[in-house]
Chain A
Amino acid sequence: MVFSILLFVRLSKTFIYRDIYYFLSKPFWPGEYQQEILRKSINQELNIKLNQLEKDNLRLRLLLDLQNFSEDNKLNASVISRNIGSWWKEILLNKGSQNGVSNGDAVIGPGGLIGIVDNTSKLTSSVKLLTAPNSKVGVWNQRANLHGLLIGVGTKNPKLFFYSKNVDIKIGDYILSSPASTILPPNIPIGIIQSIDNESKPNTIATVNLIAKPEAIDWVQIFRMRY
């Protein structure tokens, strides 16, 4: 009897012991606290890598004589008025010409670009959103390395206009500001291609889902465009 038990344990390669150990050790496994520590470490590692990449990017852009942005050009502002559900698609920020904001400055919210400063007063600045009917912004499809024009149509989803037919774009492609743009800060995320209208001729037109949602954003960053 004892021998048969020992033989069974031997042949089963101690899976019973392992399973018992599983239940016994379960209360002592690394819990939420350890996960939190790991998450913090990973975040720190990613932040360091991101900073390093940004510095590299800045250095390379300087070498190529392309437009670059430093932290000094960024300004935090809060949204004090939202005029989205009417003819005008714009928001009002609590920073104006007194803070160095001027027409044409790019406004970025959590998620990416939301609009361009349209006019300023001493204390406030009005931002025309990308969804505004006469908003036009040059953008870049990262995967296909293609430039297009993002046109606001009043709805939450602006149209992306490519000047040629049969361009290599796919649903889910990321749309960013052009790396060579002189009007917008380079490589700022804007949206994701939601649908493609293949029937349109002679151009290709896509609908874009914007990443930043102005209806829910309370704080933004103004990128002061200085040449």
Chain B
Amino acid sequence: MKFYFNQYLTPISFLIIPLLIHWNPSWFSLMGYQANWPIFWLLPWALINGPFKSMLLGFLLGFILDTINADLYTQIPGLMICGFWFGKIGSLNQFNNNPIQFGLTAAIGSLICDLIYFCQMLIRLLLGNNPLWFFSHGVQIIFAQVFLTSLLAPFFCKWLYFLFSKKYKLKI
């Protein structure tokens, strides 16, 4: 059982992310806003697997997450950039796994993803000659998600990093 868990840890945890977004547990939300769940998974995975594999995983993650919401915007570019950057940090061996590093890196990652998504929304609104009423609420969402992601990242990322690195130490 333990063997199978270690072997399939990556795909299982990967497939759980969309379910978590649907579930949106209220005890992990702040004033109704939720954290950036994909970052919690992508950061520890990328730290171990390097920039190029992580960029590809970022693409796959974005590809899956885009199907949840049938709108014209995509999460793929944000997650690919984050995957590459997280992987680069990991490959430089300058990440010493302390909670503050996890929190700050996840916060910057969340900011990148949210800003790219927000820009897409703004461009669409501007192209459609719609008023930018959404602007202030969008900024509010970005701040809330960045704050919440940085707050929860030390717990989730460290735990997943431990599980992923254990798997690679076992060479499974």
Contact = CB atoms under 8 A, between A and B. Distances in A.
A86 B133 contact: no
B32 interface: yes
A83 B21 contact: yes
Interface in A69-101: 81-88, 90, 92
B24 A118 contact: no
Interface string B65-102: 00011110100000000000000000000000000000
Interface string A47-83: 0000000000000000000000000000000000111
Contact of B141 (A86, A119, A215): A86
A208 to B, nearest CB: 12
The size class of the interface chain B forms with chain A is: 20 to 34
B69 A88 contact: yes
Interface string B7-45: 000000000000001111000010111100000000000
A86 B34 contact: yes
Interface of A: 81-88, 90, 92, 118-119, 126, 133-134, 151, 153-155, 159, 215
Interface of B: 21-24, 29, 31-34, 68-71, 73, 117-118, 121, 124-125, 130-131, 133-134, 137-138, 141, 144-145
The 8 A-B residue pairs whose C-beta atoms are closest, nearest first, are A85-B32, A154-B137, A153-B133, A85-B33, A81-B22, A133-B134, A119-B70, A88-B69
20 contacts: A81-B22, A83-B21, A85-B29, A85-B31, A85-B144, A86-B34, A86-B141, A86-B145, A87-B69, A87-B121, A90-B69, A92-B22, A133-B125, A133-B137, A151-B130, A153-B133, A153-B137, A154-B134, A154-B137, A154-B141
